Copies of this chain bind each other. A is one copy, B any other.
Amino acid sequence: MITCSAPGKIFLFGEHSVVYGKAAIACAIDKRVSATLVPCSSVKIKIAGQYKPVNPKKNPYVAGAIYEMNKIAELPGFCIDINSELPSGAGLGSSSAVTVATIKSLDVLADTKLSLKEIAEMSHKIETNVQGKASPTDTFVSTFGGSVKIPEKVHIDFFDAKIVIGNTGKFASTTNLVSDVYELMSKHPDSVNCIMDAMDRVSRDGEIEIQKKDYKKIGELMNINQGLLNSIGVSTVQLENLIWAARNSGAYGAKLTGAGGGGCMIALCDENNIQKVVNAIKKAGGDPFVCNTTKEGVRVDKNNVNPE
Protein backbone atom coordinates (compact mmCIF):
# COMPACT_ATOMS: atom_id res chain seq x y z
CA MET A 1 0.00 0.00 0.00
CA ILE A 2 1.17 3.53 -0.86
CA THR A 3 -0.40 6.70 0.49
CA CYS A 4 0.78 10.15 -0.57
CA SER A 5 -0.83 13.44 0.29
CA ALA A 6 -0.62 17.05 -0.82
CA PRO A 7 -1.88 20.25 0.81
CA GLY A 8 -4.53 22.75 -0.24
CA LYS A 9 -3.67 26.44 -0.42
CA ILE A 10 -5.02 29.87 0.33
CA PHE A 11 -4.30 33.15 -1.40
CA LEU A 12 -3.22 35.56 1.30
CA PHE A 13 -2.90 38.37 -1.24
CA GLY A 14 -3.25 39.01 -4.94
CA GLU A 15 -5.71 36.52 -6.47
CA HIS A 16 -7.02 37.95 -9.76
CA SER A 17 -4.33 40.65 -10.01
CA VAL A 18 -1.83 37.79 -10.37
CA VAL A 19 -3.52 37.06 -13.73
CA TYR A 20 -2.26 40.51 -14.82
CA GLY A 21 1.31 39.79 -13.74
CA LYS A 22 1.02 41.48 -10.34
CA ALA A 23 2.50 40.22 -7.06
CA ALA A 24 0.62 37.65 -4.99
CA ILE A 25 1.27 35.48 -1.94
CA ALA A 26 -0.16 31.97 -1.51
CA CYS A 27 0.31 29.62 1.45
CA ALA A 28 -0.14 25.86 1.85
CA ILE A 29 -2.57 24.79 4.57
CA ASP A 30 -2.62 21.66 6.69
CA LYS A 31 -5.80 20.32 5.07
CA ARG A 32 -4.75 17.70 2.55
CA VAL A 33 -5.84 15.37 -0.19
CA SER A 34 -4.45 11.84 -0.05
CA ALA A 35 -4.11 9.24 -2.78
CA THR A 36 -3.83 5.62 -1.63
CA LEU A 37 -2.77 2.87 -4.02
CA VAL A 38 -3.40 -0.82 -3.38
CA PRO A 39 -2.34 -3.63 -5.74
CA CYS A 40 -5.02 -4.55 -8.26
CA SER A 41 -5.22 -6.55 -11.53
CA SER A 42 -6.29 -3.48 -13.53
CA VAL A 43 -6.45 0.30 -12.96
CA LYS A 44 -9.48 1.31 -10.90
CA ILE A 45 -10.65 4.14 -8.64
CA LYS A 46 -12.69 3.88 -5.47
CA ILE A 47 -15.94 5.85 -5.81
CA ALA A 48 -18.50 5.66 -2.99
CA GLY A 49 -17.00 2.44 -1.67
CA GLN A 50 -16.79 0.67 -5.02
CA TYR A 51 -13.86 0.21 -7.40
CA LYS A 52 -14.67 1.47 -10.90
CA PRO A 53 -12.67 2.15 -14.07
CA VAL A 54 -10.95 5.56 -14.08
CA ASN A 55 -13.18 7.86 -16.16
CA PRO A 56 -11.37 10.86 -17.73
CA LYS A 57 -14.61 12.84 -17.62
CA LYS A 58 -15.50 12.08 -14.02
CA ASN A 59 -11.94 11.74 -12.65
CA PRO A 60 -9.99 14.05 -14.96
CA TYR A 61 -7.09 14.80 -12.59
CA VAL A 62 -6.47 11.17 -11.62
CA ALA A 63 -6.86 10.10 -15.26
CA GLY A 64 -4.45 12.86 -16.32
CA ALA A 65 -1.88 11.79 -13.75
CA ILE A 66 -2.09 8.16 -14.88
CA TYR A 67 -1.80 9.24 -18.53
CA GLU A 68 1.30 11.36 -17.90
CA MET A 69 2.99 8.78 -15.63
CA ASN A 70 2.34 6.04 -18.21
CA LYS A 71 4.52 8.03 -20.62
CA ILE A 72 7.58 7.70 -18.38
CA ALA A 73 7.03 4.36 -16.65
CA GLU A 74 5.29 1.05 -17.06
CA LEU A 75 2.67 1.15 -14.32
CA PRO A 76 1.43 -2.10 -12.80
CA GLY A 77 -2.29 -2.53 -12.05
CA PHE A 78 -3.51 -0.58 -8.97
CA CYS A 79 -6.65 0.65 -7.31
CA ILE A 80 -6.59 4.29 -6.18
CA ASP A 81 -8.59 5.81 -3.35
CA ILE A 82 -8.74 9.63 -3.08
CA ASN A 83 -9.60 11.18 0.28
CA SER A 84 -9.91 14.91 0.74
CA GLU A 85 -10.09 17.21 3.73
CA LEU A 86 -10.76 20.10 1.33
CA PRO A 87 -14.11 21.24 -0.05
CA SER A 88 -13.86 21.04 -3.83
CA GLY A 89 -14.46 23.96 -6.18
CA ALA A 90 -14.12 26.37 -3.29
CA GLY A 91 -10.85 28.08 -4.18
CA LEU A 92 -8.64 26.01 -1.90
CA GLY A 93 -6.74 24.20 -4.64
CA SER A 94 -8.33 20.79 -4.16
CA SER A 95 -7.91 19.78 -7.81
CA SER A 96 -4.19 20.58 -7.64
CA ALA A 97 -3.85 18.63 -4.42
CA VAL A 98 -5.57 15.60 -6.02
CA THR A 99 -3.25 15.81 -9.01
CA VAL A 100 -0.05 16.28 -7.01
CA ALA A 101 -0.91 13.51 -4.52
CA THR A 102 -1.79 11.09 -7.33
CA ILE A 103 1.41 11.79 -9.27
CA LYS A 104 3.50 11.32 -6.15
CA SER A 105 1.82 8.01 -5.32
CA LEU A 106 2.42 6.74 -8.86
CA ASP A 107 5.99 8.05 -8.70
CA VAL A 108 6.54 5.92 -5.58
CA LEU A 109 4.77 2.94 -7.16
CA ALA A 110 6.85 3.09 -10.35
CA ASP A 111 10.00 4.24 -8.51
CA THR A 112 10.50 7.05 -11.07
CA LYS A 113 12.08 9.37 -8.48
CA LEU A 114 10.57 12.56 -9.90
CA SER A 115 11.90 15.79 -8.42
CA LEU A 116 9.45 18.20 -6.79
CA LYS A 117 9.97 20.53 -9.74
CA GLU A 118 9.00 17.74 -12.13
CA ILE A 119 5.91 16.89 -10.06
CA ALA A 120 4.82 20.55 -10.01
CA GLU A 121 5.34 20.90 -13.77
CA MET A 122 3.53 17.68 -14.58
CA SER A 123 0.62 18.66 -12.31
CA HIS A 124 0.36 22.06 -13.96
CA LYS A 125 0.33 20.43 -17.40
CA ILE A 126 -2.52 18.14 -16.30
CA GLU A 127 -4.52 21.03 -14.80
CA THR A 128 -4.05 23.01 -18.00
CA ASN A 129 -5.28 20.08 -20.10
CA VAL A 130 -8.37 19.69 -17.93
CA GLN A 131 -9.24 23.37 -17.39
CA GLY A 132 -8.03 24.89 -20.65
CA LYS A 133 -5.94 27.42 -18.73
CA ALA A 134 -4.62 27.02 -15.20
CA SER A 135 -2.49 29.05 -12.84
CA PRO A 136 0.77 27.30 -11.88
CA THR A 137 0.37 28.67 -8.35
CA ASP A 138 -1.90 25.96 -6.97
CA THR A 139 0.20 23.04 -8.19
CA PHE A 140 3.44 24.74 -7.12
CA VAL A 141 2.21 25.44 -3.57
CA SER A 142 0.63 21.99 -3.24
CA THR A 143 3.93 20.38 -4.27
CA PHE A 144 6.40 22.52 -2.32
CA GLY A 145 4.27 23.75 0.61
CA GLY A 146 5.13 26.93 2.54
CA SER A 147 4.49 30.57 1.68
CA VAL A 148 5.14 31.39 -1.92
CA LYS A 149 5.57 34.70 -3.72
CA ILE A 150 4.07 34.90 -7.20
CA PRO A 151 4.93 35.44 -10.06
CA GLU A 152 8.51 34.59 -9.03
CA LYS A 153 7.37 31.27 -7.49
CA VAL A 154 9.92 31.50 -4.68
CA HIS A 155 9.44 30.82 -0.99
CA ILE A 156 9.26 33.81 1.32
CA ASP A 157 9.60 33.72 5.13
CA PHE A 158 7.14 31.13 6.38
CA PHE A 159 3.87 32.73 7.41
CA ASP A 160 2.94 30.73 10.49
CA ALA A 161 -0.74 31.40 11.07
CA LYS A 162 -4.03 30.16 12.42
CA ILE A 163 -6.67 30.55 9.77
CA VAL A 164 -10.42 30.09 10.00
CA ILE A 165 -11.87 29.25 6.60
CA GLY A 166 -15.54 29.95 5.97
CA ASN A 167 -17.20 28.19 3.07
CA THR A 168 -20.23 29.92 1.53
CA GLY A 169 -21.23 26.61 -0.05
CA LYS A 170 -21.76 28.41 -3.35
CA PHE A 171 -19.81 27.14 -6.30
CA ALA A 172 -18.50 29.68 -8.78
CA SER A 173 -16.54 29.07 -11.93
CA THR A 174 -13.00 30.48 -11.79
CA THR A 175 -12.98 30.72 -15.58
CA ASN A 176 -16.14 32.86 -15.59
CA LEU A 177 -14.89 35.12 -12.81
CA VAL A 178 -11.54 35.68 -14.49
CA SER A 179 -13.35 36.58 -17.70
CA ASP A 180 -15.78 38.91 -15.85
CA VAL A 181 -12.80 40.81 -14.44
CA TYR A 182 -11.26 40.94 -17.91
CA GLU A 183 -14.50 42.41 -19.27
CA LEU A 184 -14.63 45.02 -16.49
CA MET A 185 -11.01 45.86 -17.29
CA SER A 186 -11.91 46.31 -20.98
CA LYS A 187 -14.77 48.68 -20.10
CA HIS A 188 -12.90 50.75 -17.51
CA PRO A 189 -9.21 50.19 -18.27
CA ASP A 190 -7.83 53.21 -16.41
CA SER A 191 -9.73 52.55 -13.19
CA VAL A 192 -9.27 48.78 -13.15
CA ASN A 193 -5.57 48.97 -14.02
CA CYS A 194 -5.16 51.34 -11.13
CA ILE A 195 -6.85 48.79 -8.84
CA MET A 196 -4.56 46.01 -10.08
CA ASP A 197 -1.61 48.26 -9.21
CA ALA A 198 -3.08 48.76 -5.73
CA MET A 199 -3.39 44.97 -5.31
CA ASP A 200 0.24 44.61 -6.34
CA ARG A 201 1.23 47.19 -3.75
CA VAL A 202 -0.82 45.43 -1.04
CA SER A 203 0.92 42.09 -1.78
CA ARG A 204 4.35 43.70 -1.60
CA ASP A 205 3.47 45.49 1.64
CA GLY A 206 2.12 42.13 2.86
CA GLU A 207 5.45 40.41 2.22
CA ILE A 208 7.23 43.05 4.32
CA GLU A 209 4.78 42.60 7.21
CA ILE A 210 5.14 38.79 7.01
CA GLN A 211 8.90 39.25 7.42
CA LYS A 212 8.20 41.40 10.48
CA LYS A 213 5.54 38.94 11.75
CA ASP A 214 3.20 41.90 12.30
CA TYR A 215 -0.12 40.04 12.28
CA LYS A 216 -2.15 43.18 12.92
CA LYS A 217 -0.81 44.88 9.83
CA ILE A 218 -1.07 41.68 7.77
CA GLY A 219 -4.76 41.58 8.78
CA GLU A 220 -5.24 45.22 7.80
CA LEU A 221 -3.72 44.51 4.41
CA MET A 222 -6.01 41.49 3.99
CA ASN A 223 -8.98 43.79 4.66
CA ILE A 224 -7.68 46.30 2.14
CA ASN A 225 -7.20 43.51 -0.40
CA GLN A 226 -10.79 42.36 0.19
CA GLY A 227 -12.11 45.83 -0.63
CA LEU A 228 -10.13 45.79 -3.86
CA LEU A 229 -11.57 42.37 -4.72
CA ASN A 230 -15.04 43.77 -3.93
CA SER A 231 -14.28 46.67 -6.28
CA ILE A 232 -13.62 44.37 -9.25
CA GLY A 233 -16.90 42.55 -8.66
CA VAL A 234 -15.77 39.16 -7.35
CA SER A 235 -17.17 39.42 -3.83
CA THR A 236 -20.74 38.47 -2.96
CA VAL A 237 -23.11 39.41 -0.16
CA GLN A 238 -22.59 35.95 1.38
CA LEU A 239 -18.81 36.39 1.37
CA GLU A 240 -19.13 39.92 2.79
CA ASN A 241 -21.33 38.65 5.61
CA LEU A 242 -18.86 35.93 6.62
CA ILE A 243 -15.95 38.37 6.29
CA TRP A 244 -17.57 41.06 8.45
CA ALA A 245 -18.67 38.44 10.99
CA ALA A 246 -15.04 37.34 11.34
CA ARG A 247 -13.70 40.90 11.59
CA ASN A 248 -16.32 41.88 14.13
CA SER A 249 -15.34 38.86 16.25
CA GLY A 250 -11.75 39.95 16.55
CA ALA A 251 -9.99 38.41 13.54
CA TYR A 252 -6.89 40.38 12.49
CA GLY A 253 -8.34 40.55 9.00
CA ALA A 254 -10.54 38.64 6.59
CA LYS A 255 -10.94 38.31 2.85
CA LEU A 256 -12.21 35.97 0.20
CA THR A 257 -9.60 33.53 -1.10
CA GLY A 258 -9.34 32.29 -4.67
CA ALA A 259 -11.62 33.38 -7.46
CA GLY A 260 -14.56 34.58 -5.32
CA GLY A 261 -18.14 34.75 -6.56
CA GLY A 262 -18.84 32.22 -3.82
CA GLY A 263 -16.31 29.71 -2.48
CA CYS A 264 -14.40 30.49 0.70
CA MET A 265 -13.22 33.35 2.83
CA ILE A 266 -10.28 33.26 5.23
CA ALA A 267 -9.84 34.98 8.56
CA LEU A 268 -6.44 35.49 10.18
CA CYS A 269 -6.84 34.67 13.87
CA ASP A 270 -4.92 34.00 17.02
CA GLU A 271 -5.50 31.26 19.60
CA ASN A 272 -7.77 33.49 21.69
CA ASN A 273 -10.38 34.35 19.10
CA ILE A 274 -10.56 31.23 16.90
CA GLN A 275 -13.69 29.83 18.54
CA LYS A 276 -15.43 33.21 18.50
CA VAL A 277 -14.67 33.62 14.80
CA VAL A 278 -15.81 30.05 14.05
CA ASN A 279 -19.11 30.69 15.84
CA ALA A 280 -19.63 34.04 14.10
CA ILE A 281 -19.05 32.53 10.66
CA LYS A 282 -21.49 29.73 11.45
CA LYS A 283 -24.08 32.24 12.66
CA ALA A 284 -23.63 34.27 9.46
CA GLY A 285 -24.53 31.19 7.40
CA GLY A 286 -21.07 29.85 6.55
CA ASP A 287 -19.44 26.49 7.06
CA PRO A 288 -16.26 27.18 9.09
CA PHE A 289 -13.18 25.06 9.71
CA VAL A 290 -9.86 25.82 11.32
CA CYS A 291 -6.47 25.22 9.75
CA ASN A 292 -2.86 26.21 10.02
CA THR A 293 -0.50 27.29 7.31
CA THR A 294 2.12 24.61 6.72
CA LYS A 295 5.62 24.22 5.35
CA GLU A 296 4.80 20.70 4.22
CA GLY A 297 4.14 20.11 0.56
CA VAL A 298 3.52 16.72 -1.05
CA ARG A 299 4.67 13.82 1.10
CA VAL A 300 4.71 10.05 1.37
CA ASP A 301 2.48 8.98 4.25
CA LYS A 302 2.75 5.20 3.77
CA ASN A 303 4.98 3.14 1.49
CA ASN A 304 5.38 -0.59 1.86
CA VAL A 305 5.97 -1.16 -1.86
CA ASN A 306 9.20 0.73 -2.51
CA PRO A 307 10.50 1.62 0.95
CA GLU A 308 13.26 4.27 0.81
> Which A residues have a C-beta under 8 Å from some C-beta of B?
184, 187-188, 190-192, 194-195, 197-198, 201-202, 204-205, 217, 220-221, 223-233, 235-237, 240-241, 244-245, 248
Contact = CB atoms under 8 A, between A and B. Distances in A.
A201 B189 CA distance: 10
B187 A224 contact: no
A277 to B, nearest CB: 15
B217 A195 contact: no
8 contacts: A190-B201, A190-B204, A197-B198, A227-B229, A227-B230, A227-B231, A228-B231, A237-B240
B190 A220 contact: no
Contacts of A231: 198, 223-228, 230-231
Nearest to A236: B244
One complex includes copies of this chain to the number of 2
A207 to B, nearest CB: 12
A205 B232 contact: no
Contacts of A221: 188, 191
Contacts of A217: 187-188
A198 to B, nearest CB: 4
- For the complex of A and B, the 8 pairs showing the least CB-CB separation, nearest first, are A227-B231, A237-B244, A227-B230, A194-B198, A240-B240, A194-B201, A191-B201, A191-B202
Chain B CB count within 10 A is highest, among A191, A192, A204, A225, for: A191
Given A230-B226, A232-B224, A241-B241, A191 B187 contact: no
A232 B220 CA distance: 9
A191 B195 contact: no
A220 B233 CA distance: 9
Chain B CB count within 10 A is highest, among A217, A227, A229, A236, for: A227
Contacts of A224: 184, 188, 191-192, 195, 231-233
B223 A188 contact: no
A131 B124 CA distance: 59
A201 B187 CA distance: 13
Nearest to A189: B205
A198 B232 CA distance: 12
Contacts of A228: 195, 227-228, 231
A198 B201 contact: no
Nearest to A233: B223
Contacts of A244: 236-237, 240
Contacts of A202: 188, 191
Given A188-B202, A227-B232, 11 more contacts: A188-B221, A191-B198, A192-B224, A194-B197, A223-B233, A226-B230, A227-B229, A227-B231, A227-B235, A230-B231, A237-B244
Chain B CB count within 10 A is highest, among A198, A226, A237, for: A198
